Structure 1
Amino acid sequence: MKMLVATAVEEYREKLEQFFSEQNVSFYNELEVKGVDKTGKKQHRVGNWFSYNEHPYNLVTFFTIIDDEQADNIMESLSQCKVEMPNCKIRAYILNIEKSIQ
């Protein structure tokens, strides 16, 4: 089993939900969060992925427990999305689960 954590700007919520649906992920948790960059570094004229200046960005974070095959397939789909849409604002992480209580 793996834990998938995916974060995206609000505009990509449906795309993430589509990836889950394609892999028959029937249960996941979803959080709406605000991303803020307060590093004080000069921003590129179009901002950065996480936030523009100190103005918060609306983000959505999904996390779910899935089997290894689903994890591999979702990550492959996300990788392909990044190739097809270089400005795709989705980030995903797979974490191994060593122990669990259910």
Structure 2
Amino acid sequence: MEHGDNHITVIDEDGNEELCEILFTFESEEFGKSYVLYYPVSAEDEDEDGEIEIHASSFIPGEEQGDLKPIESDEEWDLIEEMLETFLGEDEE
């Protein structure tokens, strides 16, 4: 993972680089990890309804070019979904 201001470059399983915008990051003491929610900058990733697919990964903070790790448990996904709902709810106010 390389990152600039509000962007990261993510390399997919095929080795393709994709520029993504960071939606937000947060830390979880419960899981001892940090999480990043992001979405591809390219507009081609919008679905038929014009919605953008948001991706989530975990990472170890402080690493200059840390690796994004997959989310491994349902409990982590529940936490991420809860944080996203809170984030999106604040956005609407």
TM-score normalized with structure 2 length: 0.37
Higher RCO (Cα < 8 Å, 6 or more apart): 1
Select the structure that is richer in helix. Answer: 1
Q: TM-score, normalised by structure 1?
A: 0.34
